[in-house]
Structure formats: structure tokens, C-alpha cells
Amino acid sequence: MTSIAIGLLATACAAIARFVMDAIVPGAAIFPLIFPAAMIATLFARWPAGATSGTISVLYGWYYLFPVKNSWRFESPAQAVTMGSVVVGVILTVALAEMFRRAVRSAAAERDREVAERDLFLEEFDHRVKNNFTLVASLLDMQRRRAGEGETADALQAALSRVESIARAHRHLYRGSGTAPGSVDMASYLGELCTALSEALFLRGAITLDCYSDHAAIPRDRAVSIGLVVNELVTNAVKHAFPGRDAGRISVRFEATENGWRLTVSDNGTGMSEAKRTKGRDGGMGTRLIDAFARQAHGTVSTQSTAEGTTVTVELEA
């Protein structure tokens, strides 16, 4: 019923267009509108709709318009050949439109199947990657616990934090949070990262970590690098910014600028001593890591330190 209804609708539209043309140029172009009407009806509602539209249009034109009005007879063999050509043309139009419609549906079904297979593959890949991250993090944490106290334990803790930062970006990438494919929403990512850092570094009450981020869809690799910069800077601030103090504040801000984005990590600690500044200029391990991660994120690092605290700014290109 739906196919027939659409066929009748296409026929009515063709008839209206025919009446308009006939009002402008009486008797001209009797049959051309039959073909697009039949084709459109077929594409929208399969061949029965096209056959309905074509049959009604041909019979109407034959009886009321050509060759003799209000009659089925022909005045010459040429008129019969003309009408036969119109019928064959309508049949071919409906057949070709139906073939095209089926080809499109088949291609769409194949595409949907490929998309479903890809989604299944990505889901399996995501599951395996998460398991691998979990395994690596567990091994590092086990080694850290066995190491007890000292530089080895600190190094393992730093490595563990970096692995967890990368894993967190991976989770945001495959979570489908409304960002573009391959991108990470920085507001969600940095918020979760700061929460995890607060728990991992045992920040409770006296030393607080504040985090603010504009919503920005950043490509995965750059988001990972930015997260690693935040991880290094916050960890360094916790370790070195508040010697002999029980209270302090660390702030992380990620904001859009005219030329890209700006990441700022600041604290209200005691500032950097001359020895630490010299070591930083000479390229200590922490400084080299931060510079390397910043370059991967297409950013440049600048540091300001006074007796009231330290501020590290990373200017990121768009």
C-alpha cells in the first residue's frame, strides 16, 4: 500500500507540473515528465511504486492527450511506435532505478557490516590495551612497594604516574565523550588526572590541588603529552615547593588563547633556590622530561619563580 501511495503521489506531482506546462505551452512535451516521476517513485518505494506511476501516466497520456484525445486509437503506425517507445522507456526507467536502489542498499548494508566489524575490533583492541596498561601499572606498583623508601621507589612511583596518565588519556579517547574521533576532551581528562594525582600523592586538606580547564578537543597524542607535563609539574611541586610547610596550594589551568592554548601550573610555595635554578638551566632530568613532553605537544615552556611561589607556563600552538 505504501508503494502504491507513493506511486500515486509521484503521478499527481507530475500531473500538476504537466498542467502548468500546458498552460504555458499547450500540447507540448506530453510524455517527458513520466520518466522522472517513475524513477523517483521507484527510488523512494521500490519498483511497484514506479510501475504504478508509469502505468497511470502512460494510460492517461494515451487516452486523453495522444494521439487522439479521449480515444485509444492511432491515426498512423508511427503513433503506435511512439507510444510503444514510451512504454519501453518507462519499463527501462523503472528497471534501472530499481537496480540502482538495490545497489545502494547493498552498499549501505556492506558499509554497516564493516562499521560493525570495525567497532567490534576497536572494542577488543581497547579492552586489550586497558589490560596491558593495568598489567604494567600493577608491575610497577609491586616493584615500588618492594623497593621501600629511597630514590628507586620514587623513580618507580614517577614511572607509575606517567603510565597511569597515558592510560587515562586512552580511556577518554575511547569513551566516546562527544569529541571528534581521535580527540580527547581536556576538561574531563585534566579533571580526572588532577583527582588521581591528589590521591596518588596523598594530598589531604593542607596541600590542595585545584584544576580548571576549558573544554577543548585535543588530538590524542598532544593530550597525552600535556597530561605528562601536568604530571611532572604537579609531582615536582608536591616534592619541592613546600619544604617544612604543612599547607600550600597547587593550581592547574588549561585555557584557550588567541593563538592556541595555555597550560599554567603554579604553586604558592617557597620558590626555587639558586641551586635548583642552576640545575634546571643545566638540564636536570625533570626539566628535560618537561621540555620533551612540551615539544611533543607543540608547546614552549617558561618558568617564573619568586619567594611567593613558582609558575610554569606552557604556550601551545593551535
Taking only the tens of pLDDT, the chain with its 318 residues reads 787 788 778 778 777 777 776 666 665 556 777 888 888 888 888 888 888 888 888 887 777 677 777 777 778 888 788 888 888 888 899 999 999 999 999 999 999 888 888 778 767 777 777 778 778 878 888 888 888 777 788 788 778 877 877 777 666 666 555 566 678 888 988 988 888 888 777 665 578 899 999 999 888 889 888 988 998 899 888 888 888 777 889 999 999 999 899 999 999 988 886 656 555 555 567 788 899 999 999 999 999 998 889 999 999 998
Residue type, 226: I
CB count within 10 Å of CB 311 equals 16
Task: Please report, to the nearest 10 degrees, the dihedral formed by the alpha carbons of residues 138, 140, 143, 149 taken in order.
Answer: -120
Whether the bond between 77 and the residue before it is cis, its omega within 30 degrees of 0, is no
What integer pLDDT is reported at residue 287 of this predicted model?
82
What integer pLDDT is reported at residue 279 of this predicted model?
55
What integer pLDDT is reported at residue 205 of this predicted model?
59
Domains of the chain, by residue range, sit at 2-110, 181-317
As a whole number of angstroms, the distance between CA 96 and CA 93 comes to: 5
Kindly state the DSSP code that residue 180 receives in the 8-state scheme. Answer: P
What integer pLDDT is reported at residue 11 of this predicted model?
79
In a 13 Å sphere around the CA of 306, the CA atoms on its Cβ side amount to 2
Contact 254, 263 (CB under 8 A): yes
As a whole number of angstroms, the distance between CA 246 and CA 133 comes to: 34
Q: Which of 170, 167, 164 is nearest to 140 (CA)?
A: 164
Contact 57, 38 (CB under 8 A): yes
Q: Which of 204, 206, 213, 194 is nearest to 263 (CA)?
A: 213
Kindly state the DSSP code that residue 72 receives in the 8-state scheme. Answer: -
Kindly state the DSSP code that residue 148 receives in the 8-state scheme. Answer: -
Q: Rounded to a whole number, what is the distance in angstroms from the first to the last CA of the chain?
A: 56
Backbone angles phi, psi at 305, to 5 degrees: -140, 130
Task: Tell me yes or no: is domain 181-317 CATH 3.30.565.10.
Answer: yes
The helix/strand count (H/E) of the chain reads as 8, 7
C-alpha cell read off for 221: 597524542
Q: How far, in Å, are 14, 39, 94, 113, 182 from residue 46 at the CA level?
A: 18, 10, 9, 23, 39
What integer pLDDT is reported at residue 72 of this predicted model?
78
